[in-house]
Amino acid sequence: MRHLLNPLDLSVEELTNVLDLAADIEKNPDKYREVCKHKKLATLFYEPSTRTRLSFESAMINLGGSVIGFSSADSSSASKGESVADTIRVISCYADICAMRHPKEGAPTVAAEFSRIPVINAGDGGHQHPTQTLTDLMTIRSLKGRLDNLTIGFCGDLKFGRTVHSLISALVRHKNIKFILISPEELKIPDHIREDVLIANNIPFEEVTTLDDSLADLDILYMTRVQKERFFNEEEYIRLKDCYILTKEKMEKANENMLILHPLPRVNEISVEIDDDPRAVYFKQVQYGVYVRMALIMTLLGLHV
* Catalytic option among 2, 51, 230, 266: 51
- In this structure, which long-range contacts are made by residues 286-289, counting pairs with CB atoms below 8 Å and at least 24 apart in sequence? 286/51, 286/55, 286/135, 288/22, 288/26, 288/135, 288/138, 288/139, 288/142, 289/51, 289/52, 289/55, 289/131, 289/132, 289/135
Least distance to ligand NCD, CB of residue 224, Å: 6
How wide is the angle at C-alpha 262 spanned by C-alphas 17 and 225, nearest 5°?
135
Residues 148-207 that bind ligand NCD (CB under 6 A): 162-163
Catalytic residue status for 39: no
Contact criterion met (CB below 8 Å) for 123 and 101: yes
C-beta of residue 213 within 8 angstroms of C-beta of residue 239: no
CB of residue 123 to ligand NCD, shortest distance in Å:
5
CB of 164 vs ligand NCD, minimal distance in Å:
9
CB 229, min distance to ligand NCD, A: 8
With contacts defined by CB under 6 A, name the span among 186-194, 209-217, 244-252, 263-271 that binds ligand NCD.
Answer: 263-271
The single residue of 3, 40, 101, 165 carrying the catalytic annotation is 101
Q: What share of the chain is helix, strand, coil (3-state, %, to 5)?
A: 45, 15, 40
Helix 130-144 vs helix 12-27: crossing angle, to nearest 10: 70
Which residue, judged by CB position, is nearest to ligand NCD in the bound state?
263
Instruction: Specify the 3-state DSSP secondary structure of 225.
Output: coil
Active site residue 51: yes
Q: Give the whole-angstrom CA distance, residue 291 versus residue 59.
A: 7
Pick 35 or 122: Cβ nearer ligand NCD = 122
Catalytic (active site) residue 116: no
Quote the least distance from Cβ 51 to ligand NCD, whole Å.
Answer: 5
Residue 80 designated active-site:
yes
Q: Closer CB to ligand NCD, residue 159 or residue 225?
A: 225
Q: Choosing from 3, 39, 43, 52, which is the catalytic residue? A: 52
- Of 17 and 287, nearer to ligand NCD (C-beta) is 287
Residue 293 sits in the site that holds ligand NCD (CB under 6 A): no
Task: Select the span of 27-35, 240-248, 249-257, 258-266 touching ligand NCD (CB under 6 A).
Answer: 258-266
CA distances from 248 to 50, 158, 260 (A): 27, 23, 12
Does position 264 interact with ligand NCD (CB under 6 A)? The reply is yes
129 flagged as catalytic: yes
SS3 (DSSP) at 178? strand
Q: Is the dihedral of CA 244, 200, 162, 148 positive or negative?
A: positive
225 binds ligand NCD (CB under 6 A): yes
132 scored as a contact of ligand NCD (CB under 6 A): yes
Nearer to ligand NCD, 39 or 133 (CB): 133
Please state at what angle helix 282-301 crosses helix 51-62, rounded to 10 degrees: 50
Q: Of the listed pieces 30-38, 89-97, 261-269, 274-282, which binds ligand NCD according to CB under 6 A?
A: 261-269
Helix (H, G, I), strand (E, B) or coil at 251: helix
- The reply to whether 53 sits near ligand NCD by the rule CB under 6 A is no
Q: Which of 263, 293, 296, 258 is nearest to 278 (CA)?
A: 258
Q: Residues interacting with ligand NCD, by CB under 6 A?
A: 51-52, 123, 129, 132, 162-163, 225, 227, 263-265
So which residues are the catalytic ones? 51-52, 80, 101, 129
